[in-house]
Structure formats: C-alpha cells, structure tokens
Amino acid sequence: MSFSQHLWQANAPLYQDTVQLPFNQELAAGTLSRERFCHYVIQDAHYLLAYGRALAVTAAKADGAEGMVQFARAAQEAVLVERSLHDGFMSEFGIAPAQFTATPLTPACHHYTSFLLATAWAEPYPVTLAALLPCFWIYAEVGREIHASSAAGNPYQSWVDTYAGEEFHAAVRAVCATVDRLAAKAADETRAAMHTAYTHAARLEWMFWDSAYRLGDWPV
C-alpha cells in the first residue's frame, strides 16, 4: 500500500465522521440555512488566502522544479478561487465586501490556517505537504459524495457542482504522487511527522465544517 493510501486508511473513521457532519448532510439535502452557508463562505475565503500562502511557501521548499511549478500553480489557483467567491457566491448571497472584511477568522479557521502556515514555515518539505494534503483530498471525496446525493432543486447546487470536478481529483492524485515519492526516501521519523501532520489537518477539516454549522465565534 502506498504511503498516501496508508494515511487515508488510518484516518478513514475521521473521514466518515466528516461526511456525516450536519453541515455536509444538509448541504446535500439543500436544507442548510442560508446563515450557515454564508458564514462558511466568508470563512472559506479567509482560509483560501492563507492556504494559498502556505502553498507558496511549500513551492519555495520543493526539492525540484516540478514541485515548484506544481505548488506555485496550486497557490495561484487558491487565490483565484478566493477571488471568484467574491464575484460569485458572495454577491449571489448578498455578502457585501465590507461584511467580509469586517468578519474576523473564527477560532476554527484561525486554528487551521495558523497550523498550516506555522507548518509551512517551520517544518521540512514532506511534512508541510502532508499537512496540506487533507484539504485537497477530503474536499474532493466529500464533494463526490455530496454531489452524488444532492437533492433536486438544491439551492446550493452551483456550490455542490464546484466540488465535483474531475480536475479536483487529478490534483489530489498529483499531490499524493509527490507525497509518496517523498515518503519513500524519508526517514521513519519524518514519515511519522507526516502522519501526525496529516491527521491534525484532517481533524481541522472536520472542525471547519462543524464550526460553520454552529456559527462558531470567539467566546469572549
């Protein structure tokens, strides 16, 4: 079994819990409240910018030109997706630019983005990449399941459709291939750190959706 398959299998129960979260179930059923969806979109825009920055740092750490191009492109894509949220879903759902800029990161978004950025700046390339992998992979798999079970007339159908693209899955395969290549030549200690980083990020993916459902905010 490849290293990435091993990561997936070891974290499979967490993935099942993520798909079953009320946010994802209600998104698929089309019953998610508009307030929860808007909360999510705003936090996701914050997330995408930080994720793009973490990818850019990862590109700078890559062990060759191919990795530099792979992750620099992904960084650009994350920023372009963030921009398209403003012209697309934010304007469709009536989220004004001022509302977005006035909304701080929630604890869950802050934790996830801080973890990714701290990892990108401080950890070696393979560990950084393992932390970035759940974002690609869990999203693509959750997207596939939600897309397959989406209700007719779902008000979030255009959002659900953005999850389902094959290019998402192609990107996942490409990141897994890089992770596997790095894991194959890494010391046991590095592989263990990769595993820990992956699980941590997978838990933060769960927390991100859970927080959006609960309209997560700072307690004080």
Q: What's the CA gap between 153 and 104, in Å, rounded?
A: 32
Count of other CB atoms within 10 angstroms of residue 158: 11
Which residue do the tokens 């299998």 mark? 9
Q: Which is nearer to ligand VIB, 125 or 208 (CB)?
A: 208
CA 199 to chain centre: 13
For the CB of residue 80, give the shortest distance to ligand VIB in the complex, in Å: 8
Q: What's the CA gap between 213 and 22, in Å, rounded?
A: 7
Q: What's the CA gap between 148 and 144, in Å, rounded?
A: 6
For the CB of residue 180, give the shortest distance to ligand VIB in the complex, in Å: 18
For the CB of residue 127, give the shortest distance to ligand VIB in the complex, in Å: 18
Q: Which is nearer to ligand VIB, 130 or 186 (CB)?
A: 130
Footprint of ligand VIB (CB under 6 A): 44, 47-48, 51, 74, 77-78, 81, 135-136, 139, 205, 208
Q: Which is nearer to ligand VIB, 81 or 151 (CB)?
A: 81
Q: What's the CA gap between 125 and 58, in Å, rounded?
A: 7
Q: Which is nearer to ligand VIB, 186 or 212 (CB)?
A: 212
For the CB of residue 114, give the shortest distance to ligand VIB in the complex, in Å: 14
Give the active site residues. 205
| DSSP H helices in the chain | 3-10, 12-20, 22-29, 34-61, 65-85, 91-92, 97-102, 107-122, 125-149, 157-163, 166-184, 188-213
